[in-house]
Chain A
Amino acid sequence: MSDGDNDKKMCIIVTKGTLDWAYPPFILATTAAAMDVECTLFFTFYGLQLLKKDVSHLQISTLGNPAMEMPMMGMHMTMPNIVSAIPGADAVASTMMKNMMKKKGVASIEELREMAQEGDVRFVACNMTMDLFEYTKDDLIDGVELGGAATWMEAAKEADINLYI
């Protein structure tokens, strides 16, 4: 991968499976790869969602997020917790978010994930949580390794940057 003289490494634990939280690990991993930093992403718990073949089901949640403001007609609309009790509210908010991202030229998760793999970012899926949620390797995209805490530890010990998302 590396054609520069950087030999830095980065390791990220990816624990979240909502659309908004899917972005930071993939943005940082693709940028790391572009800057010749070797990167390992360790997906555990809800983070495993980001490795599914189809990620169109990823949603944002309006629940418990007072900081969520959607730009609307020149203003910002907050999402009170009660909104999330309405059936389909998260789906509507997620569609709004996706449209907004498209309009602003933000890459899709599929696109970033593909670019991460092209940049030789290493994807490790946590074996224990795969078992816990009864996912098999067939549920995930190709090119994913299975591993446990020791696999992460080995990568993390060598890493100059360690993040937990």
Chain B
Amino acid sequence: MAETFLDTKGMNCPLPILKTKKTIKGLNAGDTVKVESTDPGSVKDFGAFCRSTGNKLLDQSEADGVYTYIIEKP
């Protein structure tokens, strides 16, 4: 299963979500995308996005103001 990296650092709402969706669209089921964001609002938004779309939020973390999400396409 492939992992794609998506850098959305510096982007503001709703761009991180929009770019993530675009990336997920090109993935196969079971593939993951690792997204980095500097938007503190992304914490709630990525949770809501994944719950609402059925994509799996495998992991999320924060270090030095960078939020990292690992999302799996179902």
Interface residues of A (CB under 8 A from B): 3-6, 27, 30-31, 33-36, 104-107, 115
26 contacts between A and B (CB under 8 A): A3-B25, A4-B52, A4-B53, A4-B54, A6-B52, A6-B53, A27-B13, A27-B14, A31-B14, A33-B21, A34-B18, A34-B21, A34-B53, A35-B21, A35-B49, A35-B52, A36-B52, A36-B53, A105-B11, A105-B12, A105-B39, A106-B12, A107-B11, A107-B12, A107-B14, A107-B15
Are B12 and A30 touching (Cβ within 8 A)? no
List 4 tightest A-B contacts by C-beta distance, closest first.
Answer: A34-B21, A105-B12, A4-B53, A105-B10
Q: Which residue of B lies closest to A35 (CB)?
A: B52
Residues of A within 8 A of B21 (CB): 33-35
- A3-B25, A4-B54, A5-B54 are contacts. A34–B49 as well, Cβ < 8 Å? yes
Are B54 and A31 touching (Cβ within 8 A)? no
CA distance A30 to B12 in the complex (A): 14
CA distance A104 to B20 in the complex (A): 19
Looking at chain B's contact residues, is the secondary structure mostly helix, strand, loop, or mixed? helix
Within the complex, the shortest CB–CB distance from A26 to chain B, in Å, comes to 9
Point out the residue from A3, A5, A105, A115 that lies within 8 Å of B18, measured CB to CB.
A115
Within the complex, the shortest CB–CB distance from B19 to chain A, in Å, comes to 9
16 A-B pairs besides A3-B25, A105-B11, A105-B12 with CB distance below 8 A are A6-B52, A27-B13, A27-B14, A30-B14, A31-B18, A34-B14, A34-B17, A34-B18, A35-B52, A35-B53, A104-B12, A105-B10, A107-B12, A107-B14, A107-B15, A115-B18
Q: Which residue of A lies closest to B25 (CB)?
A: A3
Are B15 and A105 touching (Cβ within 8 A)? yes
CA distance A33 to B18 in the complex (A): 9
Residues of A within 8 A of B39 (CB): 105
Interface string of B16-57 (1 = CB under 8 A from A): 011011000100000000000001000000000100111000
